[in-house]
Chain A
């Protein structure tokens, strides 16, 4: 991922032009156990790219984890711009769930 920096605390980018697709945004990805990974990406970058990078970093298959913003699944083509994300916003990560319940 060429336009992200992860593994450290983000700097507070003052004056980020929210409407500028080339402006960068800091995003915190938090697992349900509280582990945090920070990314800095362009507002026009598809979040699927961030998801792939996160999965690689934590050593999991991207299809086995779920990325949520404001409680809803992030979709393939979503970007920080399309979701109207703000600087330092959080993406929640959940693991895959299954159910059937054997008798």
Chain B
């Protein structure tokens, strides 16, 4: 695979754009960027789409920031807040049981968050088991509570099961794994051993690289016809 992959140009087959050389981060202990997290979540979403159609994984990592900027979307009368109102309607139809997304803390740490609409719980998973910041919780509650039927809908905070981090680079892998595990009812198991951190990175690399090679190969074959 390493020799067959052209280490230049854009990656084909991912929703978030990036270049092939960025995949090298999955073969190292480098910190992961929002693009890497996006790609990991894309893979998990594909894995659970058929078995857990009522679980929704949000791929972009800026959701909390956007909710904060747009004030939850319910009270805003501005044009800019309309998209969040549209976004929120997907939860008021009752089609979604669990909604998972990632949060970047301090510009150096990835944590996972899941809204469970069955139990009215906000599940927060930090691989260092730090509590959620009050500012983040306030924004989340203010947004999430408005998604529940009135009157008196309220989300309670709970810990999301997550494997503890004992290194200085695996929070992204552990948080995305915790999110996917909860949203799949454990079909995607929680990482239990350190060696699985490496295999999870490698598996992600291979999935993206194989898809890239397959799609590029198909494109070349079509062009030659």
Chain A interfacial positions (CB closer than 8 Å to B): 28, 30, 32, 63, 66, 68-73, 75-76, 88-90, 92, 94, 96-103
Contact = CB atoms under 8 A, between A and B. Distances in A.
Contact of A100 (B15, B32, B38, B83): B32
A77 B159 CA distance: 39
B16 A73 contact: yes
B31 interface: yes
The 3 closest A-B pairs by CB, nearest first: A100-B31, A99-B110, A100-B169
B69 A92 contact: yes
Interface of B: 10, 15-19, 30-35, 37-38, 58-63, 65-66, 69, 79-80, 83-84, 86-87, 104-105, 107-110, 127-128, 165, 167-172
Given A68-B60, A71-B58, A76-B17, A99 B31 contact: yes
A90 B66 CA distance: 12
Given A98-B107, A99-B109, A101-B165, A68 B62 contact: yes
Contact of A98 (B31, B80, B84, B86): B31
A94 B168 CA distance: 25
A86 to B, nearest CB: 9
Given A68-B66, A71-B84, A90-B83, A100 B59 contact: no
Contact of A66 (B15, B60, B84, B165): B60
Contacts of B15: 73, 75
B147 to A, nearest CB: 14
9 contacts: A71-B58, A71-B87, A75-B17, A99-B104, A100-B31, A100-B109, A100-B169, A101-B110, A102-B168
Nearest to A32: B65
Contacts of A76: 10, 17
A97 B18 CA distance: 14
Contacts of B60: 66, 68, 71-73
A71 B66 contact: yes
A90 B109 contact: no
B48 to A, nearest CB: 18
Nearest to B68: A32
Contacts of B172: 99-100
Nearest to A62: B17
Contacts of B62: 32, 66, 68, 71, 92, 94, 97
